[in-house]
Structure 1
Amino acid sequence: MTFPAADLRLIAVDMDGTLLDGDGNVPAALWPLLDRLAARGIRFAPASGRQLATLQRSFADHLDDMVFIAENGAHVVSGADEVSSDALEPQFAASVVERVRALAAGGSDVGLVVCGKRSAYIERADAAFRAEADRYYARLDVVEDLLAVDDQILKLAVYDFTDAARAAPALEDLRATHQVVVSGHHWIDVMNAGVNKGVALERLQAALGVTRAQTAAFGDYLNDLELLDAADLSFAMANAHPDILARARHRAPSNLEYGVITTIERLLG
């Protein structure tokens, strides 16, 4: 397969199911590739539901050349500069906390991560839920009461140990005013209306002076739909959700075949 020639300047890449390998690790082959991209003036942007601190930890040795789309687009950073952030109203965040508490009291095996700008917060602290939250939140505080958190809240992440589809109906009415995204098999993210990876990528493009035609994007799941729309070179991973496969202009091998890395190498020629 060949791709159209492009003056490539920005590459936005989802993490889980896209860049990361089957064990959830950044492939070792990415590190020399990042050096090649930097030498050619191409910015690399992890675009994830993970918090900024987690992404920065994963790419600690390349922070000078990195830009980040964190919290599913609610927090965008270029180097030391914040491009954008989009905080929820405290009253709305509190209502979702109460709603998830009610779900748990009703027998649902769910937990909630309140994702602030400074840290993420949980009040459910059993080992099983803590292990899931620790995977995505490098800064994570256990608090007695989520309603007492004093931070700018960027996102509310609901985890259902069975399947996110079971918790989704209880949050469905929130779609009238807010963004509700199934971001994985077990996770549902609640954010302000208009917050998504695609809007974040457009803000990043504006900040960097980069066009859609100069942008490539890779994704595999439903929270990547808008990300792919914001890039002319859009790639669905072979393991992607059917809606992603239908939306992207091109296909990349699966994350288990290091499809992001091999495709970027082909784009570089």
Structure 2
Amino acid sequence: MDRDHIGLIASDMDYTLLDENGQLPEGFTELVRALKEEGIYFAAASGRPLYTLEAMFPDLRDRMALIGDNGGAIRWRGRDIYQSRMPTADYREMAIATREAGDIGVLCGLESAYVERQYQSYARVLGQFYTRVTYVDDLTVLDVPADKYTIYLPRGNSQEAYDKIYGDLYGERFSVAVAGANWVDIMNRGVDKGAALRALGRSLNLTSANLMAFGDTYNDAEMLCTAKYGFLMANGSQDLRARVSFLAPPHWDQGVIRIMRQVLDQGGWVSPTDFNPAH
């Protein structure tokens, strides 16, 4: 079987690359640098904003790509190459719908996240994902550049909220995705991690056969299907197995790191038979 040379590896963060304590695995920075010496670049692809991702990778920000807000913004080696802008009227409408449903809205501005002051008691959990949070009296009067609107659901009922409310309200006009048990993300139509990965690949003259990606849930699905070597984590959403080609060990077993090291050991050359199929 012909082998493909991997040129770009993209990974989701939570429940994918990060360990069970939400930390980067030991040796990650050195591994990314070693891959770069083989002509293989790394991209962090997350629902988190760019400013949070930059804080997570202080030693690598000029050596890697950052895909923030599920593809709403892309930064390549410190340079912005794409930003989606959500119309003000649209995210104000979403803020009204979120309020009526009794859920917590987070407007993902390009420079800060915005949350209504009445939800400041959730500052600790929100701060894990947004290193800049501005508390305001009313989201419906804001006029700031933003690329995503997300709904935080403390009860862990994101799939139910998507099925009963947000999928019907916004699914035809926007990209709407369940982003874990506590989150539903809404982006402009056509914005997702898969589109961002394709854009990065084109900028590097890479095809699908040169792309590898890792993820665990529905907002990763397009990215995992864009890359020929798309890996669902063993701890990921079971419903995605039929759509994804390969299965990686779980995040608590450093599944991403283990496969990245395998790629490095093989000089970047891989074939489908090297990996475990997802189905």
User: In the alignment, which residue of structure 1 is the partner of 2:148?
Assistant: 155
Amino acid corresponding to residue 169 of structure 2 in structure 1: D
User: In the alignment, which residue of structure 2 is the partner of 1:7?
Assistant: 5
SS of structure 2 residue aligned to 1:64: coil
Q: Distance in 2 between matches of 1:237 and 1:114?
A: 29
8 A Cα contact 1:111 1:124, kept in partner: no
Q: Distance in 1 between matches of 2:141 and 2:111?
A: 15
Q: What is the TM-score of this pair, normalised by structure 2? A: 0.89
Unaligned runs of 5+ in 1: 105-109
User: In the alignment, which residue of structure 2 is the partner of 1:26?
Assistant: 24
User: In the alignment, which residue of structure 1 is the partner of 2:221?
Assistant: 225
8 A Cα contact 2:106 2:113, kept in partner: yes
Q: Distance in 1 between matches of 2:119 and 2:2?
A: 50
Q: Does 1:170 align with 2:165?
A: yes
Q: Distance in 2 between matches of 1:4 and 1:55?
A: 36
8 A Cα contact 1:74 1:154, kept in partner: yes
Q: Does 1:35 align with 2:29?
A: no
User: In the alignment, which residue of structure 2 is the partner of 1:265?
Assistant: 261
Amino acid corresponding to residue 265 of structure 1 in structure 2: R
Q: Give the 5 Å matches for 1:207-222.
A: 207-222=203-218
Structure 1 runs (4+) greater than 6 angstroms displaced: none
Q: Does 1:129 align with 2:122?
A: yes
SS of structure 1 residue aligned to 2:48: coil
Amino acid corresponding to residue 210 of structure 1 in structure 2: L
Amino acid corresponding to residue 167 of structure 1 in structure 2: A
Q: Distance in 2 between matches of 1:80 and 1:252?
A: 29
Q: What is the TM-score of this pair, normalised by structure 1? A: 0.93
Amino acid corresponding to residue 112 of structure 1 in structure 2: G
How many residues align structurally? 262
Q: Distance in 2 between matches of 1:54 and 1:70?
A: 9
Q: Distance in 2 between matches of 1:83 and 1:60?
A: 19
8 A Cα contact 1:34 1:44, kept in partner: yes
SS of structure 1 residue aligned to 2:4: coil
Closer/same/farther in 2, CA of residues 36 and 173 from structure 1, 3 Å limit: same
User: In the alignment, which residue of structure 1 is the partner of 2:246?
Assistant: 250
User: In the alignment, which residue of structure 1 is the partner of 2:184?
Assistant: 188
8 A Cα contact 2:61 2:78, kept in partner: no
SS of structure 2 residue aligned to 1:262: helix
8 A Cα contact 1:115 1:121, kept in partner: yes
